[in-house]
Amino acid sequence: MEKIYRIIEDIYYKCMLMKKDDPNVDSISIIFDGFGYPLAEKFIDYGYDNSFSIVNYYVPYSIQSNLVNHSKTCSRIIENISNSTILINLLNSSSDCTEFRIAVVQKALGENMKVLHLPGVSESILLNGLNNLDYSSLHQRCKIVSTKLETTKNIKIISKSCDGNFFELNIPLANRKSHICGGIAENGEIMNLPTGEAFIAPLENEANGKIVINGSGPSVVFHEKDEVILSFHNGAINISECKFSSTPNGKRFEQLLLDSSQLDGTLYQICEFGVGLNDTIKSLTGEIILDEKMKGTFHIALGNNIPFGGNLKSKFHHDLIFVPNEILLDNNKLEV
């Protein structure tokens, strides 16, 4: 059997916990577009071959990106999804389609479905992030970190720049619910594949300080001279106090933030703190859905956090990966 089919088999049985020959087995909705078709075809074929109950929905980019003209079509698709107990999302990751993806996910979560969220995920990404993964062990480690986040009032991130300066960023959490993307799908929870993180939506308008981003960002892997220092004041980036390296990667990332903020003024709000825990991922790639899961990395995100308990609505969600000097949860060092 090809590696990709072995990984899909593991997703069905070890992640979704499907059972063969069970008359009460869960039903699955698979939603995809032109980008996700090659992977969706393999999920659908494997499901049919093993007699699972599957309904698939093809939604072209043109419909996803234009909800005004296609609202009835989209509403009908979203409503039909709720007839299943599991949703697999294999749509593209374009910001033009964020509103549609969020609507689909929110409906599924509202119906207490298991949600497997794979925006922009290709076969190669799954192969890099899930090959020989111990789903059960990863799930337990994610739960431990998630519990720590949920009982924390303040995260302090201490990071060090390449010239030896230290910076602190304080992120208040209060009583926000934490979440896991930990290998085993749970009802009413959203899980990325590849999997392997614990994450939480911080309090809005509260984060203050500076942080060194030295890992990766959207389509960018930072090397030592590429580092970016972001400054936050009352939850939002203070762009005048940020430092972007003059390297191509530094300039590219600065331009990304500037361009995105012109399209959406809420982008600069910090919306997530996450901890990577997947030890099968060995190096940063610039594929954020992989990089943010790599054990030893941490991430903050800018933009939308509505699906996991925040109040920030945006068409963007930019994850920023970093390796800190130290992270303190209420003054206790976080060990992973």
pLDDT tens per residue across span 93-120: 988 898 899 889 889 999 999 999 999 9
* Domain end marker among 90, 121, 152: 121
CA 301 to chain centre: 9
- Specify whether 85 is located in the same domain as 113: yes
The model's confidence at residue 82, banded by pLDDT at 50, 70 and 90, is confident
pLDDT tens per residue across span 123-153: 999 999 999 999 999 999 999 999 999 999 9
Is pTM beyond 0.85? Reply is yes
- Specify whether 280 is located in the same domain as 179: yes
For the chain, what is the domain count? 2
Listed residue (245, 185, 234) closest to 212, CA to CA: 245
- Specify whether 163 is located in the same domain as 112: no
Residue positions counted in the chain: 336
Q: Which of 308 and 29 is assigned the larger pLDDT?
A: 29
- Specify whether 161 is located in the same domain as 114: no
- Specify whether 13 is located in the same domain as 56: yes
| Residue numbers of the domain that contains 308 | 135-333
Average pLDDT (79-89) is 91
Q: What is the rounded distance in angstroms from the CA atom of residue 153 to the CA atom of residue 331?
A: 10
What does the pLDDT read at residue 266? 67
Q: What is the rounded distance in angstroms from the CA atom of residue 183 to the CA atom of residue 194?
A: 9
Handedness of CA 134, 140, 141, 145 (dihedral sign): positive
51-55, 72-76, 153-157, range with the lowest pLDDT: 72-76
Q: What is the rounded distance in angstroms from the CA atom of residue 8 to the CA atom of residue 138?
A: 17
- Specify whether 225 is located in the same domain as 303: yes
- Specify whether 168 is located in the same domain as 196: yes
What does the pLDDT read at residue 26? 82
